[in-house]
Amino acid sequence: MTDVAERVKKIVVEHLGADEAKVTENASFIDDLGADSLDTVELVMAFEEEFGCEIPDDAAEKILTVKDAIDYIKEHSA
Amino acid sequence: MRRVVVTGMGMITPLGCGVDVNWDRLTRGESGIRAIDRFDVSDLPARIAGQVPMRSEAPWGLDPDEVVDSKERRRMDDFILYGLAAAHEAILDAGWTPTDEEEQERTGVIIGSGIGGLNTIAETSIQLEKSGPRRVSPFFIPAALINLVSGHVSIRYGFKGPNHAVVTACSTGAHAIGDGARLIAFGDADVMVAGGAEAPLCRLGMAGFASARALSTHFNDTPTEASRPWDKDRDGFVMSEGAGVVILEELEHAKKRGAKIYAEVLGYGLSGDANHITAPSPDGAGACRAMTGALRNSRVNADQVDYINAHGTSTPAGDEVEVKAVKRLFGDHAMKLSMSSTKSAVGHLLGAAGAVEAIYTIQAMRNSLIPPTLNLHEPSEGCDIDLTPLKAREREIHYAMSNSFGFGGTNASVLFKRAP
Q: pLDDT digit string (tens) for B186-239? A: 999 999 999 999 999 999 999 999 999 999 999 999 999 999 999 999 999 999
Q: Give the residue ranges of chain B where pLDDT is below 50.
A: none
Q: How many beta-carbon pairs below 8 A join chains A and B?
A: 19
Strand, helix or coil for residue B417: strand
Q: Which residues on B lie below 8 Å from A38 (Cβ)?
A: 138-139, 142
- DSSP code per residue over B277-319: SSSPPTT-HHHHHHHHHHHHTTT--GGG--EEE----S-HHHH
Residue B238 C-alpha from the chain's centroid: 14
* pLDDT tens per residue, range B22-55: 999 999 999 999 999 999 999 999 999 999 999 9
Q: Which residues of chain A lie closer than 8 angstroms to B138, CB-CB?
A: 38, 41-42, 45
Q: Active-site residue among B170, B202, B288, B383? A: B170
Q: What is the pLDDT of residue B297?
A: 85
Q: What are phi and psi of B379, to 5 degrees?
A: -65, 145
Task: Using an 8 Å CB-CB cutoff, list chain A residues near B134.
Answer: 45, 48, 54
Q: Please check whether residue B133 touches A, CB under 8 A.
A: no
Cβ atoms B6, B262 nearer than 8 A = yes
Instruction: Compare CB distances from B69 to A15, A17, A45 and report the shortest one's residue.
Output: A17
**Stretch A27-36: mean pLDDT:** 95
In chain B, what residues touch A48 (CB-CB under 8 Å)?
134
Residues A56-68, mean pLDDT to the nearest whole number: 95
**Cβ separation A45–B134 shorter than 8 A:** yes
Q: Which of B72, B124, B134 to mutate to test the interface with A (most CBs of A within 10 A)?
A: B134
Q: Does B2 touch chain A (CB under 8 A)?
A: no
Query: Is B170 part of the annotated catalytic residue set?
Result: yes
Kindly tell me if the per-residue pLDDT of A41 is higher than 70.
yes
Helix/strand number for chain A, H first, E second: 4, 0
Give B190-258 as a DSSP string: SEEEEEEEE---SHHHHHHHHHTT-B--S-TTSGGGS--TTBTT--SB-BB-EEEEEEEEEHHHHHHTT
DSSP B188: S
Across the interface, of A17, A38, A41, the residue whose CB is closest to B71 is A17
Task: Give the distance from residue B61's alpha carbon to the nearest chain A alpha carbon, in angstroms.
Answer: 26
Residues 67-96 of chain B whose Cβ lies under 8 A from any Cβ of chain A:
69-71
User: How far does B173 lie from chain A, in Å, by closest CA?
Assistant: 31
Q: How far is B69 from chain A (nearest CA, A)?
A: 9
Residue of chain B whose alpha carbon sits nearest to that of A45: B135
* Domains of chain B, earliest start first: 4-256 (3.40.47.10), 268-418 (3.40.47.10)
pTM for this prediction = 0.96
Return the pLDDT at A2. Answer: 61
Report the pLDDT value the prediction gives residue B70, as an integer from 0 to 100: 86
